[in-house]
Copies of this chain bind each other. A is one copy, B any other.
Amino acid sequence: MTSTLLSAAAVAATQPADPRALTPALPDFELIELLFFAYRDFVGEPDRLLERHGFGRAHHRVIHFINRHPGLTVAELLDILEITKQSLARVLKDLIHGDFVEQKAGAEDRRQRLLFLTDKGRALADGLATMQHQRITRAVAAIGPEHRPMIARFLAELIDKERGAAPATGPSAP
C-alpha cells in the first residue's frame, strides 16, 4: 500500500513563484517536468500504433517528414533529423521493404533518391498524425484557441537558432 503513485501532473505541480523571492531564482521545475511528461505521452500513444507494424519512434519521424515533404532527398532528411546515414538507412530499409516508402531517382540529379510515401505509408502517417493532432487539439481547446500562437511562439523559442537558416533558394520549405 506504499508507492504513492505519483501522477505526472502531481509530480510536476510546483509552487508557481516563490512568495518573497529571497532565493536566486529557482529553476522552473514545473515547466521542465511538464515538458518531460507531455512529450513522453505525446509520442507514447503513436508508439503503440507503430508497434503493430514492428516499427519504432525512428520510423515515425521518417514517415512524418516524408509525408510533409514528398520528394524529399535522403540528404535533406538527414539534415532535418540530425542523425547519421547509418541510423537512417536501417529505418528507411524497413519502410521501403514494408512498402510504406518508395524511392524515385531525381529528374535533374539522378544520384538523388527522392522519397515518397506509398498509399500504405500515407495511411499510417495519417493515423499517427491524427493521434497527435487530437491530443494537441484537446490541449489547445483547454487554454482557448486564441492562445495557440503563444504556444507556437514559446516552442519555437525553445529551439536552437544556430542551425542552418534557409539558404539562397528561398525563405523556407516549399
Contact = CB atoms under 8 A, between A and B. Distances in A.
Nearest to A2: B75
Contact of A154 (B65, B109, B142, B165): B142
Contact of A10 (B3, B29, B173): B173
Contact of A143 (B34, B69, B153, B161): B153
How many protomers of this protein does the assembly include? 2
B156 A34 contact: yes
B153 A9 contact: no
A26 B44 CA distance: 21
A19 interface: no
A7 B163 contact: yes
Nearest to A167: B5
Contact of A152 (B3, B34, B135): B34
B151 A151 contact: yes
A89 interface: no
15 contacts: A2-B73, A5-B79, A6-B164, A7-B161, A7-B172, A9-B156, A9-B159, A11-B68, A16-B149, A33-B68, A38-B156, A41-B158, A41-B160, A140-B154, A147-B150
Given A38-B155, A40-B82, A41-B159, 11 more contacts: A2-B109, A4-B79, A5-B164, A8-B160, A10-B171, A11-B69, A27-B132, A32-B129, A34-B152, A35-B38, A142-B153
B150 A151 contact: yes
Nearest to A74: B3
Contact of A142 (B9, B129, B157, B171): B157
A105 interface: no
A7 B155 CA distance: 14
